[in-house]
Structure 1
Amino acid sequence: MSSIETPWTKMALPKKGVLTTLRVGLDSANAWYWIRCKDGQFGVAIQLPGDAVASTASIKGTSKLNITRVNDTNGEHYLGVVIGASELATVFYRLCLDLVSACQFSTSPDQILAIIKRRVLVWQRLFEKGRRKLSPEECLGLISELKFLRENWIPDVSTNGVMGWLGPTGAAQDFHDETIGVTVEIKSHAFDSSVVKISSREQLDAEGSLFLTAYPGGLSSDGNGVTLNDFVEETRNMIPLSQYAAFDELLLSARYIKDDCYDELYFELGEPRVYLVDNDFPRLIGDNLPPAIGRVRYDLDLTLAADWACTLREISERVKR
């Protein structure tokens, strides 16, 4: 990530009290502050009623991401998320901006605290695992899921919107809506290949109607195409405001944090191929594997699955039946 100046750079340690504060944007509906603590930690905090801050005792800090609760001499109450590692400052700054943005349409303390609790848990997992940027293959996979989300899932298939995007959560399939009995697994593959990788016996096994949707794609050699950062932002602008927070949390679960390095890679995607995964579809699932077989991974050649080919329209038509 290129170096950018964070608001904490020029904030001095507090000479009195426990915090130095700097208001985050006067146009925000909620009172957010950049903070620097007496012990050198820095982060972002929101001013909340005292009883609301007291109710956050269940939010625990970790070695890399801590929670601070402050009652200042003026009787104001703050809940803050802070770190002490300066090498993480730029990444943490972007995360804090996303948190402030996610809470801008929430006015009740309960709503804000719910967002903060979920976001802190995701951040903690992210920092404890270590910051690793997405590979080009992972970028292509994420773009493919986002393309299906915004062009098919939300407008034509599901009523649960972003909440039906399960890929980043580690679920067996990428999209699922229990109320309509539709599940979709998204794959990406190179333009010159028809092979996709299946990572488990559960991935092509689901109740109801299961579809496999595969996008051909790859890096653009001439600078045409789309960057991951642009594609994420375009997608955010196409979803309901009420689902912004959930969308950002899913992106974090997918290990995506906006980074200048993602502006350097341009991707091209072709038209997807869609398959109805029924009982005869070529796959390895629990029913056709011996009990002694544990975890499975295999390649699936889509040219040999032509008998199960269908269209994106057929996914939405299943919903109407």
Structure 2
Amino acid sequence: MGRGVKLALTLIISATAFCARINAQAQDNLVLFWNLENFFDWTDGGNGDSDTEFTPGGKRHWTARKFYSKCNAVAKSVLWISDEYGKLPDVIGLAEIENRGVLSKLINSTSLRKTGYKIVHYDSADHRGIDVALLWNTGTMDLISSKPCHIDGLETRDILLVNLFDRRAQKERAFIVVHLPSKFGGGKTAWKREKAAARLKAVADSVNAAGCSDITVMGDFNDTPDAEAFTQLKEVLVNVSEPLSAQGLGTIRFEGKWDLIDMFWVTPEMARNVSMEIVRVPFLTVRDNVHSGIKPLRTYSGPRYLGGVSDHCPILLKY
């Protein structure tokens, strides 16, 4: 066999293997979650100190230019993930969103404008004026219903429940997006996460009782998978994040240590066929010059503008 023929066959085999890998990936459902850390617009909506802080006259000197730079970085990241995994995410859960207008600008004023994402968002009673939200891909999903689920007695983010019809699988899927109360204040805040987790369990129970056994919970849980606050939740859902946390991997880095506080939970039936990844977006990852290693590129470090997106890495669920 001549050298040219061998080379041609090698190229054909390599191309075939590459296409097979892309096609296999494209068959996966992809669910992305990302805490976008203070994703505010640049106007004062009267939502309190955090809102005022992110204005041109506020201490962050937050402007339209900086806002749209962040929008473009988020959009570029979603498209990078699409290139890496062979398709756009079917569902994107988001945290620390100021309002629906922020999301509208994200999907209509960036490279995402032709992707067909639609918004599910409700204003919550959070004292900082930030909410969770969900974007769903109209190319693969249809919206059935959505609602915010309040957590009585807490001025925090609502739990967002969205039911979608997966056209490829021809089945209903429930997606729940959460952002549990933070650890700010130390151990005195643990009860808040316990209460929020109990409410989350009740929401998942109600979805299951209504006949939908395909439940994906995603969010920033503001604690690690081994926290006692999640003990009752483990009675009904499986924490897909635990194996990664056990390996020392994480989504947020503090004083040189990774912690995995952004998680996916699924029903036991789903757990056998899902996998989770922590996404390191290369252009949003920088060296940690203090503790060595790498860390996410934030929008701000203290008062200093860095031009990144978040102190959290996005996470991806495949099934």
Q: Same fold (TM over 0.5)?
A: no
The normalised TM-score by structure 1 is: 0.26
**Structure showing greater Rg:** 1
